[in-house]
Amino acid sequence: MLRRMAAPAIGVVLLLTGCGAQGDGPPTGAPTLARPAPPTIGVDEAAAAFGLLTRLRDAWASRDCAEVAALTAAAESELAGRACRATRNGRPAPASFAYEDADYYVPDRPGDPPWAAALAHEPDPAYFLFAQEQDAWRLAYGPIPLTRDAPRLDAAETVRAVPADDPEDGLRARLVPQKHLAYLADPAGLSGVRFAAKDAVTRLRDELAEKPARVRPDRLDVDVRLVPGETRALALEGGGALVFHALTITYRQRGRGGEVDHPLFGAAAVRDFTGKAHAKTLTATELIVLATEADGDGTMRTVGMRRSLADITAT
């Protein structure tokens, strides 16, 4: 049964897992195999995960990159290196992590490491996904601002996690990152992957196709890659899954016979990352974090997306 409990210190609604009954023990005289108990997640763990956003906000404000690295995992750890160090040179820190009024979605299969998702409603709706590493909660994805209304999760008893070996929803969820990769790397639309005309990912692909013309006479190559890591997915009402994953876009810009004339992310960003005012070549990496609704019929809709500049190098 779905249990809703208030966490007074934070003021959020929690969607929690139920308690599983223990099975019968082994027959008398049979050898006992020592197996670790499956991880469980409760109110305290969910509250602690969401609470680390305050620490992360303070770490970014003080430019404490070691603390940022300690509080992040998966896609978000991509920003703990050069992107964080660039803030010491004048680059603005990420937007505030002062989120509240959140619903937590704790999966019925916490997995190893355990994880949980949250949808914060204030100041603007955004998804977060937290995972445990070395017995500590870390932010793996988020904030992921919503680009459309959030879908309804399958939460009749617990929020069902979609396992990768599920032959239907699991397969659809597992293919979502690969479909994004095929779509964004194919401006001509030959891959067969489709998004709606006004979808955020469609607009991103159109922008990528236009960038080479925008920086002429400079030359620009674009490379799209998936961020390594397990795809996390939660079941939706009526079938399908809400999938969290990330990718990077690498831009390689070369001046035609001299210096770069039109830095893709601006001269100020180049100085903050590299300390250089001029360059013959630039390599920039942008992190794209996504929450995608994958319906039972295979249709994909972008529910949330965030773009962050992760790195710039220059020669």
User: What is the distance between the alpha carbons of residues 310 and 86, in angstroms, rounded to a whole number?
Assistant: 10
Tens place of pLDDT for every residue, the chain, 315 residues? Answer: 333 333 333 333 333 333 344 444 444 554 444 444 445 676 567 777 999 999 999 999 999 999 999 999 999 999 999 999 999 999 999 877 889 988 888 888 766 788 889 999 999 999 999 999 888 999 999 999 999 999 988 765 567 878 766 767 778 888 999 999 999 988 777 778 889 999 999 999 999 999 999 999 999 999 999 998 778 999 888 888 999 999 999 999 999 878 999 999 999 999 999 998 889 999 999 999 999 999 878 789 999 999 999 999 999
User: What is the distance between the alpha carbons of residues 292 and 4, in angstroms, rounded to a whole number?
Assistant: 26
First to last CA, the chain: 59
Q: Distance of CA 126 to CAs 44, 52, 230, Å?
A: 22, 16, 21
What confidence score (pLDDT) does residue 303 get? 97
Delimit the domains of the chain by residue range: 43-314
What confidence score (pLDDT) does residue 24 get? 44
Question: Does a cis peptide bond (omega within 30 degrees of 0) precede residue 143?
Answer: yes
What confidence score (pLDDT) does residue 44 get? 65
What confidence score (pLDDT) does residue 155 get? 64
Amino acid letter, 75: A
What confidence score (pLDDT) does residue 20 get? 41
Concatenate the DSSP letters of all residues of 182-242 into one string.
Answer: HHHT-TT--S-----TT-HHHHHHHHHHHHHHHTTTSEEEEEEEEPPS--EEEEBTTS-EE
Question: Are the C-beta atoms of residues 283 and 272 closer than 8 Å to each other?
Answer: no
β-pairing, 100-105 with 13-15?
parallel
